[in-house]
Structure 1
Amino acid sequence: MWILVNGAAFALYLLASFLARPRGPRSAAVAAPAMPAYRDAATVAMLLAWVAHSGTFILVLRGLHDPDFGFAPALSLTFWLVAAVYWIESLYYPLQGLRAWICLLAAISLLLTWIFPGDRPTPTGAGVAFALHWAMGIAAYGLFGAAVLHGLMLWSAERALHRRRPTLAGLGPALPLLTLEKLTYRLAALGFALLTASLVFAVSFSEKLFGHAFEFNHQTVFAVASWLLFAVLLLGRGMLGWRGRQALRWLFSGSALLLLSYVGSRFVLQVILHR
Structure 2
Amino acid sequence: MILTSVPVASVLLSAAAAVAYAVPAAGAARLSMPAARAALLVAWLLHGVVLCSSLFDGTPRFGFAPALSVTAWLVLTVYAVESHLFPQLKARWTLAGLGAVAVLLALFFPGSPLHVSASPWLPLHSALGIASYGLFAAAVVHAWLMTRAEQQMRQAAGSFSGMPLLTLERITFRLVSAGFVLLSATLLAGWLFGEQLYGSSWTWSHKTIFSVLAWLTFAVLLLGRARFGWRGRKAVRVLYMGAGLLLLAYVGSRFVLEVVLGRGLG
Q: Identify whether the pair has TM-score above 0.5, normalized to the shorter chain.
A: yes
Q: Say which of 105, 123, 145 aligns to 1:131.
A: 123
The 2-side partners of 1:261 and 1:206 are apart by 16
Q: How far does residue 100 in structure 1 lie from its aligned partner after superposition?
A: 0.9
Q: Distance in 2 between matches of 1:57 and 1:17?
A: 21
**What is the aligned partner in structure 2 of residue 42 from structure 1?**
36
The one-letter code of the counterpart of 2:137 is G
Q: CA deviation at 1:204?
A: 1.0
Where structure 1 has 5 or more consecutive residues not aligned to the other structure, the ranges are 24-34
Counterparts of 1:60 and 1:126 in 2: how far apart (Å)? 17
State the match for 1:80 in structure 2. Answer: 73
Contact 1:124-1:209 at 8 Å conserved across structures: no
Could you tell me which residue of structure 2 aligns to residue 206 of structure 1?
Answer: 194
State the distance in 1 between where 2:223 and 2:110 align.
40
Match of 1:274 in 2: 262
CA RMSD after TM alignment: 1.9
Matched, 1:9 2:17: yes
Structure 2: state its 5+ residue gaps: 1-8
2:54 is paired with a residue whose SS is helix
Report how many residues are paired. Answer: 255
Structure 2 CA distance for aligned equivalents of residues 142 and 126 of structure 1: 24
Distance verdict in 2 for CA 1:248–1:225, change over 3 Å = same
1:161 deviation in Å?
3.6
CA offsets 1:128-160 (integer angstroms, 9 cap, x no match): 311011000000011111100000011112233
User: Per the alignment, in what secondary structure is the counterpart of residue 150 of structure 1?
Assistant: helix
Cα 1:221–1:165 change in 2 (3 A) is farther
Q: What are the within-5 Å matches in structure 2 for residues 84-233 of structure 1?
A: 84-118=77-111, 120-123=112-115, 126-162=118-154, 164=155, 172-233=160-221
Q: CA deviation at 1:95?
A: 4.9
| Runs of 4+ deviating beyond 4 Å | none
| Equivalent residues in 2 for 1:233-244, closer than 5 Å | 233-244=221-232
2:187 maps to a residue whose letter is: L
**Does residue 55 of the first structure (1) align with residue 55 of the second (2)?**
no
Decide whether aligned partners of structure 1 residues 157 and 215 sit closer, same or farther in structure 2, where only a CA change above 3 A counts. Answer: same
* Aligned residue number for residue 248 of structure 1: 236
Q: Percent identity?
A: 44
Counterpart AA for 1:215:
T
2 CA distance for matches of 1:114 and 1:149? 24
